[in-house]
């Protein structure tokens, strides 16, 4: 195999910056998780944090592996080839791949646990992939198996991100949009630094480490800048979708023009189609929300805390259009649950969650499960007590008048 560019001095500098940013991102999400009172919300933020911890470890191991390859240093560039790799190099790169899969496993486990999935397919697939990476020969594991398995996990991860956006409140929805774009840029970097892709390198292309820095910065921005503003109008989500599809189209064009590797072209095409479908589904969901006059979803974060004002309009929409008052999702058939007092609609998932948390209908405060006590928040309890006192006073006055 001919010599290829492994890294340049500028690569080392940019990757060092990206590694520091990735560590800071993990710390920021850990700190954000501490401030969350809701255990489900805390869990998903912690999942983001650990995802960046394992990504940082994989980044360090992967790049360290190239230092054990015999290289020629000319004009601040290290050239080498992948023939006769040492055992240390092979296991360092395998370790990097294992670390990336570990980040998927940890995140998928938290995500699927929040959705109450009994069979954790994401973590199971990740563990299986790790076992195969360990025991398969290096050439087969890194050149053939790793690109396919990594693509599968990456696509599933982005699908979970879109699910989070559809089923979460505004703050997490906006934060997840930044993470989607950020992790996309990080994924492009990782794809570029695989041994299969590095065979194409004949000149240093510093844009890829720069994309890693940019992607990491986007991922760390939600806990810093709190970009919930960008989820307030559908036009921002159109811009988000157009941008996401466009950068995937550019990526596909790049591989078509500079590469003869059909694998990279097919992977890029799959990602383009995937993002286009996910964006269309998401935009239709947002448009439906606006047409119903509701402000976002809840759900995945498990924040089943009643908003300060449940309007009569929301209750009437729930009854007329058979929409769950909590998650705003369409309910039908066996999924339908009606409040026994006011006949407001709930899906079974939200009804079970409300029974466990406060057991009170959001529309009328009547018990959802009459066999269990109501556990309203403190403010609601005071309000109910005051109303009961007022009712009792009115009753006493009527009795006095009769007398």
The span from the CA of 88 to the CA of 172, in Å, is: 41
The per-residue pLDDT for range 147-167, each reduced to its tens digit, is 889 889 989 999 988 887 877
Q: For the chain, how many structural domains are there in total?
A: 2
Q: What integer pLDDT is reported at residue 26 of this predicted model?
A: 92
Q: What integer pLDDT is reported at residue 392 of this predicted model?
A: 53
Least confident of 91-95, 253-257, 304-308: 304-308
Q: How confident is the model at residue 228 (pLDDT cuts 50, 70, 90)?
A: low
Q: Which residue has the higher pLDDT, 75 or 403?
A: 75
In order of 44, 82, 269, 295, the CA distances from 31 in angstroms are 13, 41, 38, 28
Of 191, 224, 257, the last residue of a domain is 224
The per-residue pLDDT for range 312-367, each reduced to its tens digit, is 777 888 788 888 887 777 776 666 788 888 888 887 777 877 777 778 888 888 88
Please check whether residue 233 lies inside any domain of the structure. no
Q: What percent of the chain has pLDDT over 90?
A: 14
**Closest listed residue to residue 268, CA positions, set 250, 244, 242:** 250
N residues, the chain: 403
* pTM of the entire predicted model: 0.68
Q: How confident is the model at residue 301 (pLDDT cuts 50, 70, 90)?
A: very low
Of 177, 193, 224, the last residue of a domain is 224
The span from the CA of 230 to the CA of 379, in Å, is: 31
Please check whether residue 269 lies inside any domain of the structure. no
Q: Are residues 47 and 162 in the same domain?
A: yes
The per-residue pLDDT for range 262-297, each reduced to its tens digit, is 777 788 888 889 999 999 988 888 777 666 544 444
Residue 398 has pLDDT above 90, yes or no: no
Q: Are residues 31 and 180 in the same domain?
A: yes
Q: What integer pLDDT is reported at residue 386 of this predicted model?
A: 42
- Mean pLDDT comparison of 27-36, 132-141, 171-180, highest-scoring range: 132-141
H helix or E strand, kind and range, residue 73: strand 71-74
Q: How confident is the model at residue 98 (pLDDT cuts 50, 70, 90)?
A: very high
Least confident of 178-182, 192-196, 387-391: 387-391
Q: What integer pLDDT is reported at residue 325 of this predicted model?
A: 80
Please check whether residue 138 lies inside any domain of the structure. yes
Q: Are residues 13 and 145 in the same domain?
A: yes
Q: What integer pLDDT is reported at residue 383 of this predicted model?
A: 46
Residue 53 has pLDDT above 90, yes or no: yes
Q: Which residue has the higher pLDDT, 79 or 134?
A: 134
Please check whether residue 108 lies inside any domain of the structure. yes
Q: What integer pLDDT is reported at residue 335 of this predicted model?
A: 64
Least confident of 89-98, 139-148, 168-177, 210-219: 168-177
Q: What integer pLDDT is reported at residue 13 of this predicted model?
A: 84
Tell me, rounded to whole angstroms, the distance of Cα 110 from its chain centroid: 11
Least confident of 37-51, 147-161, 211-225: 37-51
Please check whether residue 48 lies inside any domain of the structure. yes
Q: What integer pLDDT is reported at residue 333 of this predicted model?
A: 64
Domain of 138, in residue numbers? 4-224
Token pair in block for residue 183: 């992790």
Q: How many Cα neighbours within 13 Å face the side chain of 43?
A: 17
DSSP state at residue 121: H
Q: Are residues 219 and 321 in the same domain?
A: no
Residue 323: which CATH number? 3.30.40
Residue 259 has pLDDT above 70, yes or no: no
For residue 80, list its beta bridge partners: 4, 71
Please check whether residue 32 lies inside any domain of the structure. yes
Of 165, 197, 224, the last residue of a domain is 224
Q: What integer pLDDT is reported at residue 2 of this predicted model?
A: 61
Q: What percent of the chain has pLDDT over 70?
A: 76
Burial class, 11, CB count within 10 angstroms (exposed 0-12 / middle 13-18 / buried 19+): buried
The per-residue pLDDT for range 99-110, each reduced to its tens digit, is 999 999 988 988
Q: What integer pLDDT is reported at residue 54 of this predicted model?
A: 93
Q: Are residues 333 and 216 in the same domain?
A: no
Please check whether residue 239 lies inside any domain of the structure. no
Q: Are residues 324 and 214 in the same domain?
A: no
Residue 27: which CATH number? 1.20.1070
**Cα angle 111-117-120, degrees, rounded to a multiple of 5:** 75
Q: Are residues 322 and 220 in the same domain?
A: no
Q: What integer pLDDT is reported at residue 170 of this predicted model?
A: 63
Q: Are residues 88 and 190 in the same domain?
A: yes
Please check whether residue 10 lies inside any domain of the structure. yes
Q: Are residues 220 and 90 in the same domain?
A: yes
The span from the CA of 317 to the CA of 323, in Å, is: 7
Q: Which residue has the higher pLDDT, 135 or 288?
A: 135
């Amino acid at each position: 195999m001919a010599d290829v560019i492994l890294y340049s001095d500028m690569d080392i500098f940019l990757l060092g910056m990206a590694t520091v940013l990735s560590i800071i991102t993990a710390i920021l999400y850990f700190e954000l998780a501490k401030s969350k009172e809701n255990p489900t919300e805390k869990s998903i933020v912690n999942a983001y944090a650990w995802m960046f911890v394992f990504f940082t470890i994989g980044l360090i191991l992967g790049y360290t592996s190239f230092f054990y390859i015999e290289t020629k240093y000319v004009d601040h560039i290290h050239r080498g080839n992948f023939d006769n790799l040492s055992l240390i190099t092979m296991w360092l790169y395998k370790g990097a791949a294992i670390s990336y899969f570990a980040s998927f496993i940890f995140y998928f486990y938290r995500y699927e646990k929040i959705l109450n999935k009994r069979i954790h397919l994401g973590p199971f697939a990740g563990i299986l992939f790790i076992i195969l990476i360990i025991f398969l020969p290096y050439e087969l594991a890194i050149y053939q198996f790793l690109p396919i398995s990594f693509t599968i996990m990456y696509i599933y991860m982005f699908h979970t991100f879109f699910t989070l956006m559809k089923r979460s409140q505004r703050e997490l929805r906006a934060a997840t949009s930044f993470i989607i774009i950020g992790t996309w840029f990080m994924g492009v970097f990782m794809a570029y630094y695989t041994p299969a892709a590095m065979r194409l390198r004949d000149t240093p292309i510093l844009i890829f480490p720069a994309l890693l820095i940019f992607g990491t910065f986007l991922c760390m921005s939600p806990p810093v800048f709190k970009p919930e503003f960008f989820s307030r109008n559908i036009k921002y989500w159109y811009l988000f979708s157009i941008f996401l599809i466009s950068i995937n189209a550019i990526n596909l064009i790049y591989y078509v023009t500079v590469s003869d590797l059909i694998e990279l072209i097919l992977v890029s095409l799959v990602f383009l189609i995937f993002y286009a479908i996910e964006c269309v589904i998401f935009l239709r969901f947002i448009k439906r929300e606006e047409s119903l006059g509701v402000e976002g979803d809840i759900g995945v974060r498990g924040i089943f805390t009643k908003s300060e004002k449940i309007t009569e309009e929301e209750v009437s929409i729930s009854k007329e259009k058979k929409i769950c008052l909590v998650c705003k999702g369409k309910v039908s058939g066996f999924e339908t649950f009606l409040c026994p007092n006011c006949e407001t609609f709930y899906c079974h998932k939200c009804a079970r969650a409300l029974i466990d948390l406060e057991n009170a209908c959001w529309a009328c405060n009547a018990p959802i499960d009459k066999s269990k006590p109501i556990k309203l928040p403190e403010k609601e309890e005071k309000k109910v007590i005051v109303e009961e006192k007022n009712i009792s006073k009115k009753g006493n006055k009527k009795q006095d008048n009769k007398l």
